[in-house]
Amino acid sequence: MTDELIIGHLFKRAIVIEAQFGSSDYHLNRYRMLKADARGRLH
């Protein structure tokens, strides 16, 4: 990735953030599991 354009810096930053905090797929699946677990506890 080139550092000539700002998009290169932003792309690198997005990759690091995803590695540090997890991908959107990870968080979406976690949310679904927590929601399903909460429904199970209510019934």
Task: Look at residue 3 and tell me whether its pLDDT is greater than 80.
Answer: no
pLDDT of 43 strictly over 70: no
Residue 1, pLDDT > 70, answer no
Instruction: Read off the pLDDT of residues 14-41 as tens digits, 9 standing for 90 and up.
Output: 999 999 999 999 999 999 999 999 988 8
Altogether, the residues listed in the chain come to a count of 43
- Higher pLDDT pick, 25 / 43: 25
Q: Say which amino acid occupies 12.
A: K
